[in-house]
Amino acid sequence: MTARPSLNPIDLILKKRDGGNLTRTEIAGFVDGVTSGDIPDYQAAAFLMASYLNGMNGEEMVGLTHCMLHSGSVLDLSDIPGRKVDKHSTGGVGDKMSIILAPIVASCGVPVPMISGRGLGHTGGTLDKLESIPGFSTQMSIASYRQQLAEIGVVMIGQTDDIAPADKKLYALRDVTATVEFIPFIAASILSKKLAEGIDALVLDVKFGSGAFMQSETQARKLAQTLTDLGEQFGKRTVALLTDMNQPLGFAIGNWPEIAESIDCLHGKGPEDVMEVTLALSAEMIVAGGKASSLEEGLRMAEASISSGRAWAKFEELVARQGGQLESIQDPAVRTKGQAMQDIHAQQSGTISHIDARIVGRAAVSLGAGRVKKEDVVDPRAGIILSVSAGSEVQVGDVIAQLVASTSDRFEQAASLLSTAFEIGSEREIGTSRIKDRYSDGKWLNP
């Protein structure tokens, strides 16, 4: 990186506090300071909040993305055959799609270089989920990353010191400063990581609703457009699906519980809503990777990879290659031996009209499945297993969910919170598609 003149972080904080717009040089100075450690966390946090409250214009967002991208190495994977395609989700309660679709897409011949993050707020992170597999390592040198992608077609790691190091620091701070939902930060964070991976195309899963960071559909649409247009501006084919996250995805929430459900999905036995979104995203990736000429063909290829066992075999190969114990994924019940469990019962009879995904996510975090502070240690086995979904009929005393964790220390608090997530009425909700729209080439499919 070219040396840039040092800037006083107080001046940058004051400028954003007072509603000013930063120049590219000022943004570069901030990013360099965060990366080097010259700007301490408390000043970076102040800058994040000032920007959140007063906004960033388009030029600032592009500048922030560019500077975060070039805060470390930008990989060139052109020597590895095939169009490299990744997927990114903006996060949601029970969102385990990356773990399922990476081996699906790779088994269809599309290289998948995936650099993921940890949990933010009430939603889980792919790295935390993968690391709940005993022995699985998400840390890898760039040389090993390249070698594994070339040899087996898929690699799933966390950010290294070489890949967008500024984002690695700011990502953790956003989680604990209530600045996660700010669109320019989200866009710069996602794109700086993804562009640095060496990808040729990117598929986005932009979620809205109580279980997502974007609560409103309007804001989620804005984020999808921002991300897609920004990705195209950096020369990468980018498409976004808009998905409903008002209720938890699937039945498992938590790191190991979601791995276990992902294993079911790779064996063709996953929850319908999880599979709907996973297969749609997989089809987009297969088309973007040039292995299918239409989404219909891509969907058929994804489904065939599961039914044939190729997707599962690729997942086993991925786990083994990154140090994970195959026994734990081949027999998931072994992982849950000795864990604490507590059933949650229905307090009235009727039909489950709604399950508040945000409350379920918060309850899982209170069990230890996520972080309140960035230093918190996650319990890999903690989580919630739902026994019902919207539309389920229940009687008083029926089990509607189960708490699981390494110990029962936090069960009382989590149970009290989780009990408020279920709305029971008299009308049965008719299931609808989780996928609400698609954005590409500057337009929505269903405007």
Report, as residue numbers or ranges, the catalytic residues: 88, 167, 174, 189, 193
User: How many angstroms separate the CA atoms of 172 and 405, rounded?
Assistant: 24
* Closest C-alpha to 177, from 185, 410, 30: 185
User: How many angstroms separate the CA atoms of 335 and 305, rounded?
Assistant: 26
37: left (phi over 0), alpha (psi -120 to 50) or beta: left
User: How many angstroms separate the CA atoms of 7 and 29, rounded?
Assistant: 6
Residues written for the chain: 447
DSSP annotation of 123 = B
Task: Collect all residues with Cβ–Cβ distance below 8 Å to 164 and sequence separation of at least 6.
Answer: 68, 69, 71, 72, 192, 193, 196
Within 13 A of 241's CA, how many CA atoms are on the CB side? 24
Instruction: Check: CB of residue 245 under 8 Å from CB of residue 92.
Output: yes
Phi, psi dihedral angles at 154 (to 5 degrees): -155, 140
Enter the tokens of residue 232. 């195209």
By the 10 Å C-beta count (0-12 exposed, 13-18 middle, 19+ buried), 126 is classed as buried
* Closest C-alpha to 381, from 335, 349, 426, 346: 335
Burial string for 131-160 (b: 16+ CB within 10 Å, else e) reads bbbeebebebebeebbebbeebbbbbbbbb
* Closest C-alpha to 239, from 443, 446, 447: 443
The DSSP result for 368-422, as a single string, is IIS-SSTTPPP-TT-EEEES--TT-EE-TT-EEEEEEESSSTTHHHHHHHHTTSE
H helical segments located in 289-346: 295-307, 310-321, 326-330
